[in-house]
Structure 1
Amino acid sequence: MKQYFVTGTDTEVGKTYVTCQLLTAATRLNKKAIGYKPVSAGCDLINHEWVNEDAANIQKANSIQLPISEINPITLKPPIAPHIAASEENVVLSDDKIMQGLAHLQSYQPDLLLMEGAGGWRLPLNIPSRGTALAATQSRFMSDVVSAIGMEVILVVGMRLGCLNHALLTAEAIRQDGLTIAGWVANDITGNMSRYSDNLASLKALLPEPLLAEIPFQQAPKDEALNFALEQLC
């Protein structure tokens, strides 16, 4: 089994889209593929169950049908920072629940398991009260959970102005946390980025990890590109 954590240079850079594309491509190649989004914020009540749109898309892209509660065990209603939403709803964002959900999906023995984060790499899960001496040392981040698991990382770069800085800082933080970046995906999220090709070339020169795939604006990536990405990952 190959498993990876999918993170992004920011929120709304296409982590879910990339995750779903990779899951669908893996299924097309007769691989058992499962996506996992442990924490989501922003849900709608559907058939008496709170459902996050990203988690629902991942559910559809999985090669086996699983209950949404297994794919997304921690659902928070307001579309805000998860640790703030959790505080408002008296929910504890615990490492144990995230890891238990992961272990359950691992029991299906997929060929590929993709665990998608929320927001960017340093997403807060728990921050002690402001002004306390413990705030800096006892804060907990999603990156801490990934580090504890030792999972390799796929970095989704939202191609827009500022992406060079965001990509380099995120990659630097991942490496400093002792983790391996399996590769990165260039996702054109605006369709009108000035000097797109030059920026892409700069990222290729500055990031030592491989470019797994390039996703055009509002177009599905070519099968060949996804197959290449899966060859690198699997």
Structure 2
Amino acid sequence: MTRYFITGTDTDAGKTLVTAGLLALARSRGLSTLGLKPIASGCRRTGAGLRNDDALALMARSVPALAYETVNPFAFEPAIAPHLATRQAGTNISLAQLGEHVAPLLEEPRDLILVEGAGGWRVPLNDSEDLSGLATHLDLPVILVVGLRLGCLNHARLTAEAIRADGAKLAGWVGNLLAADFARDASLYADNLATLQHTLDAPCLGVVPRLSRVAPARRPEAAVAHLELPEGD
């Protein structure tokens, strides 16, 4: 059984695309899966309560199925940083609270469990803790999603340094092409990927091309062909 924490170089780097894609890849190989989004802001009001599209994507690719509240126990409506969303809601959430929910789920008999963070590695959870502390609190190796665009080398290296400085293991990284013009010069694009591979010093688990023409509900499945499952620890 393998368990990982998924983070990104920034908001919209493609964490959910990669997380759901890895879950879909595992399912295609007959493996049991579970995707968790412990805290999510940017939720929609529905008849069943607040729902987050990212959490729903993970839930849809988790087999055997679990209730939405298990996948995403803390949901907030405004699409802002978690500590600001909780403040607006008049509450406060700690790493201990998140850990109490997630830790028992990590013992589920699933072949692959992925815990998706919010924003980047340094996004605050409250006034004194970062959400990334959940990875170190639960001793989860980290998969980094690198949004491939101008500036990604700096963003990726700084994030990898922060992950390791916090005592977590960088188990691998995935490149997700955000800017089409970034790959226009094939040679330069390859050089950028080679630089990431060399400087991040962790296995590359895939490079996902731009999938903007693919229907949103199918994007994770479209990413499957470009991903590899981590080997485990």
Q: Is TM (by shorter chain) over 0.5? A: yes
Within the alignment, does 1:172 sit opposite 2:161 as a pair?
Answer: yes
Q: Give 1:140 deviation, angstroms.
A: 0.7
The total of aligned residue pairs comes to 220
Q: Give 1:196 deviation, angstroms.
A: 2.4
Residue ranges of structure 1 left out of the alignment (5+ in a row): 128-138
Within the alignment, does 1:213 sit opposite 2:210 as a pair?
Answer: no
* Residue in 2 that maps onto 1:32: 32
Cα deviation 1:158-208 (Å, max 9, x = unaligned): 000110000000000101111111100011112221542221121122121
RMSD of aligned Cα (Å) = 1.6
Q: Give 1:66 deviation, angstroms.
A: 1.3
Structure 2 counterparts to residues 117-132 of structure 1, below 5 A: 117-127=117-127
* Residue in 2 that maps onto 1:47: 47
Distance of 2:4 and 2:189 partners within structure 1: 27
Q: Give 1:96 deviation, angstroms.
A: 2.8
Within the alignment, does 1:75 sit opposite 2:75 as a pair?
Answer: yes
Distance of 1:192 and 1:91 partners within structure 2: 43
CA contact (8 A) 1:15 1:156 kept: yes
Within the alignment, does 1:198 sit opposite 2:191 as a pair?
Answer: yes
| Matched position secondary structure for 2:125 | strand
Distance of 2:85 and 2:224 partners within structure 1: 38
Q: Percent identity?
A: 42
Distance of 2:124 and 2:230 partners within structure 1: 33
CA contact (8 A) 2:94 2:129 kept: no
Distance of 1:204 and 1:107 partners within structure 2: 32
* Residue in 1 that maps onto 2:229: 230
| Matched position secondary structure for 1:140 | coil
Distance of 2:14 and 2:224 partners within structure 1: 16
Distance of 1:124 and 1:214 partners within structure 2: 28
* Residue in 2 that maps onto 1:19: 19
CA contact (8 A) 1:24 1:63 kept: no
Distance of 2:113 and 2:48 partners within structure 1: 28
Distance of 2:230 and 2:182 partners within structure 1: 29
Letter in 2 for 1:209: A
Q: Could you say if the C-alpha distance between residues 4 and 93 of structure 1 is closer, same or farther in structure 2, counting changes exceeding 3 Å?
A: same
Distance of 1:159 and 1:184 partners within structure 2: 12
Distance of 2:104 and 2:139 partners within structure 1: 17
* Residue in 1 that maps onto 2:217: none
CA contact (8 A) 2:25 2:224 kept: no
Letter in 2 for 1:232: E
Distance of 1:150 and 1:108 partners within structure 2: 16
Q: Give 1:232 deviation, angstroms.
A: 2.4
Residue ranges of structure 2 left out of the alignment (5+ in a row): 215-221
CA contact (8 A) 1:6 1:154 kept: yes
* Residue in 2 that maps onto 1:108: 108
CA contact (8 A) 1:23 1:63 kept: no
| Matched position secondary structure for 2:118 | coil
Any runs of at least 4 consecutive aligned residues in structure 1 with deviations exceeding 6 A, and if so which? none
**Higher alpha-carbon deviation: 177-186 or 106-115:** 106-115
Letter in 1 for 2:192: N
* Residue in 2 that maps onto 1:145: 134
| Matched position secondary structure for 2:120 | coil
2:174 alignment partner, one of 171, 185, 192: 185
Distance of 1:8 and 1:209 partners within structure 2: 15
Within the alignment, does 1:91 sit opposite 2:91 as a pair?
Answer: yes
| Matched position secondary structure for 1:230 | coil
Distance of 1:178 and 1:76 partners within structure 2: 29
